[in-house]
A and B are shown apart, each in its own frame.
Chain A
Amino acid sequence: DAKTTQPTSMDCAEGRAANLPCNHSTISGNEYVYWYRQIHSQGPQYIIHGLKNNETNEMASLIITEDRKSSTLILPHATLRDTAVYYCIVRVGIIIQGAQKLVFGQGTRLTINP
């Protein structure tokens, strides 16, 4: 399983872009990078995922380095509601059996300050 390393905590001012880094130096060629977040004790929320190319959706952008050993999740205009724990996950899948699980690390606790 490819492991990920994230900073324990980060702060960002409201209205600014929040950039959350993730290292995944042992990622395999066919493994995706997924981002989830958990607001307080709610269920984790899917944000975005990518393989090689940069991805953008209505919530965030994902920038993956060319060597795929690291990535950055960007929240373009952070609001107070973006305060949460953000998890960077390299997908673990058992292709033959059609199975999967998410392996959560400790994540980054992002605090958006007014």
Chain B
Amino acid sequence: DSGVTQTPKHLITATGQRVTLRCSPRSGDLSVYWYQQSLDQGLQFLIQYYNGEERAKGNILERFSAQQFPDLHSELNLSSLELGDSALYFCASSVGAGTEYEQYFGPGTRLTVT
């Protein structure tokens, strides 16, 4: 158990809908990351937040957005869902924001878009 929690574990929704994935970092960690893992793309970095501030961005679609709240939990919002958005979404956290800090991953949310 990494100490990172994600809810829900599974989510099934229809195309065109909007969903919110939630992540609580390990106690004491200030940085949160989101990754997407699909069968054809592998594990892809989406976005990083540090203490509420966006720090790095990957190939995150415009239909996706994220934020980190004052209590340090983070939410990933996915809208206008398409079949191709079906994937595992992982959240990770680290103490600091820089390269010297290892990231610890949560168990993931499996999103299925039908």
Count the B residues whose beta carbon is within 8 Å of the partner chain — how many? 31
Contact A46 B56 (CB under 8 A): no
Contact bitstring A84-112, B, C-beta under 8 A = 1, else 0: 00010001111101111111111000000
Which partner residue on chain B sits nearest A87 by CB separation?
Answer: B43
Give the secondary structure class of B's interface.
strand
Binding stretch for chain B, among A7-15, A36-44, A67-75: A36-44
A92 to B98, CA, bound (A): 9
Which partner residue on chain B sits nearest A98 by CB separation?
Answer: B97
Count the A residues whose beta carbon is within 8 Å of the partner chain — how many? 26
Q: In this complex, which of A41, A87, A100, A102 has the most chain B Cβ atoms within 10 angstroms of its Cβ?
A: A100
Contact B90 A43 (CB under 8 A): yes
Residues of chain B whose beta carbon lies under 8 Å from any beta carbon of chain A: 2, 4, 33, 35, 42-45, 48, 50, 55-56, 58, 88, 90, 92, 94, 96-108, 110
